[in-house]
Structure 1
Amino acid sequence: MVFSGLKRRTTLTLSLAFSTGVLAACLTTQTTSGGAVGVDRSQFVLVSSAEVDAAAAKGYADVIAKAQKEGKLNRDAKQVARVRAIANRLIPQTVAFRPDAPQWKWEVNVIESDQLNAWCMAGGKIAFYSALIEKLALTDDEIAAIMGHEIAHALREHSRERISQQLATNVGLDLASAVFGLSRGASDLAGMAANVAISLPYGRSHEVESDRIGVELAARAGYNPRAAISVWQKMSRAGGGSPPELLSTHPSPENRIQDLEVYSARVQPLYEQAKKR
């Protein structure tokens, strides 16, 4: 009967709405402490950190292997040493947000590319593109500002959030997967982890959090937190009619500068302390 079929579909729809509502209510977490900048937001997650970290490690290995095969990996030894030295100062400061983070299996590489981009996958897998350093004539403080921002994405597990959002979006197409088990193949998750980190834009709240955590990481490592302001100004100018990849979904330049002014001032005492060490 048509009525019977409609009733079953209605029941399924209500069941789906209830199930996803319960998931949204229950599967929330706070991935980091607030730090001096006071980041505090509950995060919706459907996959474990271990799954995303393993997927990111595989995705990162694939990217690095491709760059190496094409002769684009770590071509300038001096540049690579510079980037890694800055990372080595920033990484210990991640303990202010997560006690486990300094022990992650960090990797830092420079890829020869014309793109103005950098990223950090889940678990501490960092890549800087050569053009970002060369075309913008970045200072060490400015490299630290960008790297701190990208590290913050990993600390806050923004990739895990984005993957969870993608899975939740597919609930209607795959109800059993969403309600009774969310396991995905390793290759599927690896592709998602790489795509989220490199290609897909983060949400605006993710970018604001990363800006704020980034200036604190830089300050704690002894890099001038105000360099975050100058580097975003440089990238905004370099974008011309369209913003570089790093600015694709970021807040407007005016709002971003205002926020960075406030939060770089807030962490200035940490910078002064670090310089005395």
Structure 2
Amino acid sequence: MNKKLVLSFCAASAITFSGCTTVADMAGADTATLNATAAQSYNQMVQDARNKGQLDTSSSTYKRINTVFQRLTPVANQMNQTGQPFSWQLAVLKSDQINAFVAPGGKVVFYTGIVNKLNLTDAEIAAIMGHEMVHALEEHAKSKIGAQALTNLALNIGLSAAGSNVGQLGAAAAQLGAQVGVGLPYSRNLESRADEGGLMLMARGGYNPQAAITLWEKMNRLEGGGGASFLSTHPSNSQRIAAMRENLPAAQAIYNQNRR
């Protein structure tokens, strides 16, 4: 069957996520290929940021984010059930944008603005990191891949949502997101899974999961002010916090067992 027709069928029909994942596999968007594509795009984005002096590799903010990243990576590797080892990498971009995202295969991108503007604690950074890592570990981007037309749509939406003030670096990040299927809002179900899994991941890494609640309370206070790109793809509301509170006892038990 023609590959484009297969993908178009997935995009146009009421197929479940698991069905679309199967079609994505048939179209060459299997885990290994998707991870390789993400790595290529990620490396290009990092090079562009470096050339423009927008790649942070030495500030105190970078060091804090990287410390959390290094601490959670071994835990994420233990949780990886994709059948493919991840080559986890972190890029910290000098930008006032309140944003963070992950690309398949473990390519994590943080904007300095999300830490500095929200005055995040290390545990709150871990809440974001864990959330994003679970998106990658559960291959949520793969679940959203249907057809090349959807990829182009993702690019258009990503660039449109970024607005005129995003600049070249923001466009590069949107390009990365579009190419590998991130950047668009995930379904409520996938967001809930990333919330719950992120709580458990950060707890296993020795970070108090209660910080996830304070993180999203900070996000909620920003919601009405605009300018928070992270909120466009990670809805923050009272229902989300309520769900986290329900999962908190289990996460707290894991934290208590793994406390350092």
Shift of 1:92: 1.3
Deviation at 1:214, TM superposition (A): 0.4
1:54 aligns with 2:36: yes
Matched with 1:108 is 90
* Aligned mate of 2:66, from 73, 84, 91: 84
- Structure 1 position 20, deviation (Å): 5.8
Tell me whether 1:232 sits opposite 2:216 in the alignment: yes
User: Which residue identity does 2:185 align to in structure 1?
Assistant: P
**Contact 1:224–1:271, Cα closer than 8 Å, also in 2:** yes
User: d(CA) in 1 for partners of 2:82 and 2:63?
Assistant: 25
From 213, 232, 236, the equivalent of 2:197 is 213
SS in 1 for 2:56: coil
Q: Matched residues in 1 for 2:126 and 2:17: separation?
A: 33
Unaligned runs of 5+ in 2: 152-173
- The reply on whether 1:255 has 2:245 as its aligned counterpart is no
Matches within 5 A, 1:104-143: 104-143=86-125
C-alpha separation between the residues in 2 aligned to 1:110 and 1:74?
5
Percentage identity across aligned positions? 37
Cα shift at 1:139:
0.3
**Other-structure match for 2:161:** none
Match in the other structure for 1:74: 56
Does the 8 Å CA contact 2:204/2:255 hold for their aligned counterparts?
Answer: yes
2:141 corresponding residue in structure 1: 159
TM-score, length-scaled by structure 2: 0.76
The aligned residue for residue 230 of structure 2 is 246
CA RMSD of aligned residues (A): 3.2
Query: What is the CA distance between 1:98 and its match in structure 2?
Result: 1.9
- Per-residue deviation at 1:101? 8.2
- 2:240 is paired with a residue of what secondary structure? helix
- Between 1:54-63 and 1:248-257, the stretch displaced more is 248-257
Which amino acid in 2 is paired with 1:104?
A: F
Counterpart of 2:117, as a letter, is: K
Q: Could you say which structure has the larger radius of gyration?
A: 1
Residues 52 and 86 from structure 1, CA distance in 2 versus in 1: closer, same or farther, beyond 3 angstroms? same
CA contact (8 A) 1:45 1:160 kept: no
- Return closer, same or farther for 1:102/1:76 CA change in 2, 3 Å cut-off: farther
CA shift, 1:252, in A, is 5.3
Structure 1 residue 203: deviation in Å? 1.8
Alpha-carbon distance in 1 for matches of 2:83, 2:56: 25
TM-score (norm 1): 0.71
